[in-house]
Amino acid sequence: MKICFIIPPAKSAGKVPERVYGCTFTYYKQPELPILYAAALLEKEGHDVGYKDFTYSNSWAEFTAFVSGVEPHQGADYEVYIFHTVLLAESLDIRAARRILEDTDARVIFFGPHPTLKPGNFLLSDRVFIARGEAEFIIRDIVRAIAKGKGGFERIKGLTYLKGGIIAENGTYGIIEDLDSLPFPARHFIDDRKDDYFNPKLVERPVTLILTSRGCSFRCYYCVPNAISWARELEWKRFNGGKKPPVRLRSPANIAAEFKAVKDQGYKAVSVVDDLFIFGGQKRILDICEGLKGVGLPFGVLARCDLILDETLVKALKDAGCRYIDLGIESLDQGVLDDVKKDMKVAAVARSVNLLNKYGIEPKANILFGASPLETRESVEATIKGVSGLPINYCMFSIATPFPGTEFDVRARKHGWAVEPEINNLEENLSPTEKALVSYPELTKDDLEKAIKKANRRFYLSPARVWYQLKKVSSLKGLKDLIITGWRVLR
């Protein structure tokens, strides 16, 4: 079959939904990993697969011409269009799907966290199918059924669709037990745009993304992980009494093979976007590091401060090429951390930062204001001061958003912390780095929004950090990207 994975235009260049994590608008371009995984599996099945990203032109006229088959576009030839949809992209993708359904006879498949959470929103006709949860093999099975043309949709686990005008929801697929069974993401679809992908924490470009595991066993109640993990978590919780799905790990050999493959494809660095990289015990991490030594690709990972306090492990990461580690710190107030179920001691922050600096791995902090009603203006100020005083060059300050599907969302609505009516129109109002959708008696919406601006300016406008960023610039394009990203953060 002829199949197209498609990303429609955004409302504006400044409001392009970020679809790898799905909880903010794009600051810098990243490969659409969920799409590339599913595309690779369909190619392996022998289908003629295409990929179109209209956020580069941001033109609905061009999108319509493509779908309608106006020369030189051939979009009307596709039999199936597939959307990976996150919360901020719901209205865009539905608008695009309506156009496809009106102008063609094609089928439409939605997958991702938001169709998993609210499948009924996307069932525009009986030619639309929802692949819930961890979707790669579900999409494969839907396409197989479409290709055969003999129905059989009722046997596809993880599928929601319309049957006789009534919503039919099949049982859950569960999770993919053997992640090594998945082909590597089909990165050849983005070869012509490869140089657009970068990460401010890595000098080298282009940068690609790699997942070495799926899921996280910790219980932070505000957390929305990467989009693949979030979709699998939403589906698993629904069918398993609210429990989180088990973590699944790729083998060290399989991970090393993908690193070698992306190096051969011309990538110069890797961002590992696991919800938490340090899983499976020290031996697994040391085995991964051993396998990456000979590849020679710099990379970065995400980790908890309390899981990177072992010197042997940190040294192994450095020797393998680890350049930075994103640290989920959230707050320097222990009461706040306890309330949000972080299950981490504040003392671990300085210890982990100092150990990373000792071995030349860049620590990057993530701070989240407004996740707890216990937070006050004084505790926020103490966190800003404390983080600004750490020997680090990067910190992302965000305001906690009660995303649908999280325990935080349930609590925020129950206790009246959510800001009405903005919380019910997240696509228009969400900007976690600057806009508050929660408000507390001791820490109001205005307090939170002022705190973000104050934190970013105090942290990034220090002379030492400005000079650090400028020293890393090696080209005019790099300088342009630094200015644009810096403006988006500081404004």
Q: pLDDT for 9-47, tens place per residue?
A: 998 877 899 999 988 888 788 899 999 999 999 999 999
- CA torsion sign, 223 to 224 to 229 to 231? positive
Helices (H), 104-226: 113-117, 136-148
Provide the β-strand partners of residue 7: 53
Q: Rg of the chain's alpha carbons, rounded to an integer?
A: 22
3-state secondary structure of 129: strand
Encode the chain (491 residues) as per-residue pLDDT tens digits. 999 999 999 988 778 999 999 888 887 888 999 999 999 999 999 999 999 999 989 999 999 999 988 655 566 689 999 999 999 999 999 999 999 999 999 999 999 999 999 999 999 999 999 999 999 999 999 999 999 998 899 999 999 999 999 999 999 999 999 999 999 999 999 999 998 888 888 889 899 999 999 999 999 999 999 999 999 999 999 999 999 999 999 999 999 999 999 999 999 999 999 999 999 899 999 999 999 998 999 999 999 999 999 999 999 999 999 999 999 999 999 999 999 999 999 999 999 999 999 999 999 999 999 999 999 999 999 999 999 999 999 999 999 999 999 999 999 999 999 998 888 887 777 776 678 999 999 999 999 999 999 999 999 887 777 776 676 666 666 555 555 555 555 56
Query: Rounded to an integer, what distance in angstroms lies between the CA atom of residue 286 and that of residue 303?
Result: 15
The letter for the amino acid at 260 is K
The secondary structure of residue 9, as a DSSP letter, is: -
What is the distance between the alpha carbons of residues 284 and 24, in angstroms, rounded to a whole number?
32
| Sequence spans of domains, the chain | 2-169, 186-490
Position 157 scores a pLDDT of 98
Instruction: Judge: domain 2-169, CATH 2.120.10.30.
Output: no
The pairing of beta strand 166-169 with beta strand 159-163: antiparallel
Supply the CATH classification number for the domain 186-490.
Answer: 3.80.30.20
Sheet holding 299-303, edge to edge: 207-210, 269-272, 299-303, 322-330, 362-369, 394-399
What's the sign of the alpha-carbon dihedral 161, 164, 166, 169?
negative
* Closest of 463, 381, 354, 489 to residue 25, by C-alpha: 489
| Cα separation values, 411 from 24, 234, 428, Å | 21, 17, 22
Amino acid 52 reads: K
Dihedrals phi, psi of 421, to nearest 5 degrees: -90, 5
Give yes or no for a contact between 239 and 172, defined as CB atoms under 8 angstroms apart: yes
AA identity, residue 197: Y
Q: Which residue in the block uniquely carries the two structure tokens 């996280």?
A: 216
User: In this structure, what token pair is assigned to residue 299?
Assistant: 């990379």
Hey, is 395 helix, strand or coil? strand
pTM of the predicted model, to two decimals? 0.91
Q: Distance between CA atoms of 170 and 160, rounded to whole angstroms?
A: 6
Helix, strand, coil content of the chain in percent (nearest 5):
45, 15, 40
